[in-house]
Amino acid sequence: MTFFKPRSTKAVEAVKIAVLCTVLYASAARTQEFRPEHRDLDEIKQSGEIVMGLPDNAPALFMYEGKPMGYEYELSKSFADSLGVKLKIVTYAQWSSMENALKKGEVDIAAPSAPVFQERYDALSYSRPYMNTRPTVVTHRDNGQGSTMPDVAVRTLYPGDDSDWHSNGLHFYAEKSFGDTSRQIRQVASKQIIQTVTNEHIAKNVQRNFPETVVGDSTGPALGISWAVNPKSRRLLHSVNSFLTECEKNGDFEELNEKYLSEIAGLDAIDSIAFLDKTKAFLPAYKSIIKSEAKDKGFDWRLIAALIYQESSFNHRAEGGAGAAGLMQLLPSTAADLGATNLMNPSSNIKAGVGYLKDLFDILPGETENDRLSFALAAYNIGPNHIIAAKSAASSKGLNNLKWKDVAEVMKTCKKGRAARKNSGFNLRGNRAVEYVNKIMAYFEILKYREIKPPPVCFYGPSPAEKV
């Protein structure tokens, strides 16, 4: 009998490696076959951990300053907290990958942040919708005031088979990737492509952060966005539905929409584009000083940059009313209290301005850090005594004086007349102070969004005791 004899030792080793790889692959396949297909609520609570599948792009999930943020992330974190378990996030670029992971038991819930189409109902179970969306066109502002869906169909533009949208009477939509939409929107903003198609709720986020773009009319029926679970996880599905219902009652969706999806009040595209142009031209000269002083006082440097733009448009020689001067438009008396003598000196001005903002932040309480920040900014604009009076007026109306949103409503309704001012305790600039805060926070968001990073493939959220 004749046996095959390899010509060299290398050939023998190659055969051994090939056999070993085959064995390992088969072993992995068998391991995967025997994974539990699902975990229901009891198993999740017993393990102390829930695994959520999320898309790997904004506004659902993204990283900012090394921390996870996003609409679906915060919703997932709240659900995990309600169960008293730790949150594990697994990210996916494609719905098909997320769907397969759910079917194999690799994730407990899939939160695609995308519409649920009828043909999916056979394979998975879906929660009640917590948001509705429709397809809409995003184009560059230079191309006009937005296009309609037929325009895109006729011109056969970019999305092709890479859009978030499934074929539902619009022949060029096929759902493949979550990440492509975000990439395409950036390409529209930089004029690399003419236009693209995205979900209506994402389009709102787009206009907030890419003022170079304009959103056209939405079309077609509204489709619900839901969470998906294994059909056998009935108790989990019931828990999800109860949680989403409670979120609606408590106004949680309203807060998330305002934070991640809504249009910015008081800010139009012209304002945003002017801000980006001046930021690009003048911010580099002051960036290192801003970063240093912001870090020293515990602020995000981008917020300070937004405040400086609102005050002086980065003009260090700017002079305003009542003697306000410099980049942060400080009054001489305020500057003197903070040890600043030369308000036209950028370094001295920024140091004093950031210090003053920190003092205001410390003396004005708020329910959240963002509430405190908004109160501090409003006080920077019209003085702390007016904000204290506005908070008192909010309390007298049965509103929460620790929430900026409630106090801002009172400030916006300030009426004319000496008697009205005497009764309210704050002046007619209240409405302008609200607009002032809105614009600064809008500029802040624009700067932040340009520096967000994609999330890791897998990571853990904070423990149930920690805040997002």
Q: Which residues contact 125 (CB under 8 A, 6 or more apart)?
A: 228, 229, 230, 231, 233, 234, 237
The first and second tokens of residue 460, run together, are 């853990």
Q: How many CB atoms lie within 10 A of CB 52?
A: 24
B/e letters for 219-257, b = 16+ CB within 10 Å, e = fewer, are beeebebbbbbbbebeebbebbbebbeebeeeebbeebe
Enzyme catalytic residues:
311
Nearest to 373 by CA among 462, 441, 277, 272: 441
Give the number of C-alpha atoms closer than 13 A to the C-alpha of residue 106, restricted to the C-beta side.
18
The first and second tokens of residue 277, run together, are 């142009």
By the 8 A CB rule, do 352 and 330 touch? yes
By the 8 A CB rule, do 362 and 381 touch? no
Q: What DSSP assignment string belongs to 16-77?
A: HHHHHHHHHHHHHHHHHHTS-S---HHHHHHHTEEEEEEESSTTTSEEETTEEE-HHHHHHH
- The Cα angle at residue 264 between residues 258 and 270, in degrees rounded to 5: 165
The conformation of residue 115, written as its DSSP 8-state character, comes to B
Which H or E element spans position 9?
Answer: helix 9-33
By the 8 A CB rule, do 327 and 316 touch? yes
The conformation of residue 217, written as its DSSP 8-state character, comes to E
Instruction: Tell me whether the omega of the peptide bond preceding residue 365 falls within 30 degrees of 0, making it cis.
Output: no
Nearest to 353 by CA among 393, 305, 401, 392: 305
